[in-house]
Structure 1
Amino acid sequence: MKNIIITGTSRGIGFELVKLLSAQGHRVLALSRNSKPILDLKLPNVTTFNFDLSNSEHYLSVSQFLKSNWKTVDVLINNAGALLNKPFQETSYDEFKAVYDTNLFGVAEMIKTMLPFSTKTSHVLTISSMGGIQGSAKFAGLSAYSSSKGAVITLTELLAEEYKDNGPSFNALALGAVQTEMLAEAFPGYQAPVTAIEMATYIADFALNGHKFYNGKILQVSNSTP
């Protein structure tokens, strides 16, 4: 039984990850701005409460929970993401910053929060995007999203180096298009080749085992040009 934190769990990949990992017998802390979808499932060994990555006070709630209940964290899956499809010139400062608050600054703060509870064998897995991979296909309108996903890739590589002696391990998965509610909102009518449950199944296995083979690595998980 592992202690696993997952962000962005109200829908899509995060929602499926909670169900999969709970069914495998792991303890899960499911964090999202809307905790109701997970609460309604009434899953065993799952704790959830409303959590906003851009609210500094909410990280204290996570720390308090870990101190009182788990003591250690085996896996952190930084899954929460903000996707904005808007022309660069029309994107306001606040809109651009909001994407970074979730996709980069929130990831960094969540890692800082769990580090005191991590061990050498803990695994921090961050969900990035093919849009953040240098040389991959880029799409107009995704300047904030794709650049933030590129930044979190570099952060992953840096932290793997900084913590290589005592852990935890840090890896990132750069996903291609996955059929989620977030994708449908940003690209109405587009049909992705991979479902949320299919991708969640892959991510769950990698989260539990990937650190045995990789550290500081960015794996491209895409069967298409996203």
Structure 2
Amino acid sequence: MKTIIITGTSRGIGAELVKQFAAEGHTIISLSRNSNPELENLPNVYYKSVDLSNDASVAAFAVALKDQFKNIDILIHNAGTIINKPFAEISSADFEYVYKVNVFGVAALNRAVLPLMGNGSHVVTISSMGGIQGSSKFPGLAAYSSSKGAVITLSELLAEEYKEQGVAFNVLALGAVQTEMLQEAFPGYQAPIYPNEMAVYIKDFALNGNRFFNGKVLEVSSSTP
């Protein structure tokens, strides 16, 4: 059984991942700003309120984590935020917030968790097809898609930097999934994949993908977007 940190667990894919990993008997550290009552009574699930856009919140979590757990096997960066606005209307504050959650928060959490990760551990970052160079791009997603491209490069660099430690870093660039976040950004759009279906794929990849991949970006999309 693995000890697994998952971010963005209050809803969508993150909540499904917690349920599926817990059903298999793994120990889950569930991170989000808001709790999900449906997950609170699951066995071996530890909820921690963490704001990834806030350095102090991540630092406090890092201290508590080292006091309670000796090692982490898998870290899944699932949390994310999106802003859908024309570029001319996106403020510097908008851009900064998106990057704080989607990029800087990922980097900060990596710094907090990597001292507890050893040979054979796996960091999986959930990105987007919008962050893939040469993929179709959509108006209104300048902040979001550029942040998802940045986190891809970050993961590639960390795979090289931590290869001697035996920690694998991989990215899953997802296409459209029928989540609350997608509906908020694109009201009325119907995605072909549901959160529970995507969670099955991510769970299996997190458990086994590091045997075959390191420093790689896998495009997981049956449609565009």
TM-score (norm 2): 0.97
Give 2:209's aligned residue: 210
Give 1:18's aligned residue: 18
Instruction: Give 3-state SS (helix, strand or coil) of 1:29's partner.
Output: strand
Offset at residue 166 of structure 1 (A): 1.5
| Counterparts of 1:25 and 1:7, CA distance in 2 | 19
Give 2:92's aligned residue: 93
Residues 11 and 37 of structure 1 are in contact (CA less than 8 Å); yes or no, is this contact kept in structure 2? no
1:125 maps to amino acid: V
Offset at residue 38 of structure 1 (A): 5.1
1:109-128 aligned within 5 A: 109-128=108-127
Residues 137-190 of structure 1: CA distance to partner in whole angstroms, max 9, x if unpaired?
000000000000000000011000111111210000000000000000000000
Q: How many residues align?
A: 225
| Counterparts of 1:13 and 1:36, CA distance in 2 | 13
Offset at residue 120 of structure 1 (A): 1.4
| Counterparts of 1:167 and 1:3, CA distance in 2 | 17
Give 2:186's aligned residue: 187
| Counterparts of 1:8 and 1:89, CA distance in 2 | 29
- Which 5+ residue runs of structure 1 have no aligned equivalent? none
Instruction: Give 3-state SS (helix, strand or coil) of 2:9's partner.
Output: coil
| Counterparts of 2:93 and 2:75, CA distance in 1 | 28
The structure 1 segments of at least 4 consecutive aligned residues displaced by more than 4 Å after TM superposition are: none
Offset at residue 5 of structure 1 (A): 0.2
Instruction: Give 3-state SS (helix, strand or coil) of 2:201's partner.
Output: helix
Residues 54-86 of structure 1: CA distance to partner in whole angstroms, max 9, x if unpaired?
111222332233322221000000000001110
Q: Once superposed, what is the RMSD of the aligned Cα atoms?
A: 1.0
Residues 10 and 38 of structure 1 are in contact (CA less than 8 Å); yes or no, is this contact kept in structure 2? no
Residues 103 and 150 of structure 2 are in contact (CA less than 8 Å); yes or no, is this contact kept in structure 1? yes
Offset at residue 127 of structure 1 (A): 0.1
> Do residues 68 (structure 1) and 67 (structure 2) align?
yes
Instruction: Give 3-state SS (helix, strand or coil) of 2:6's partner.
Output: strand
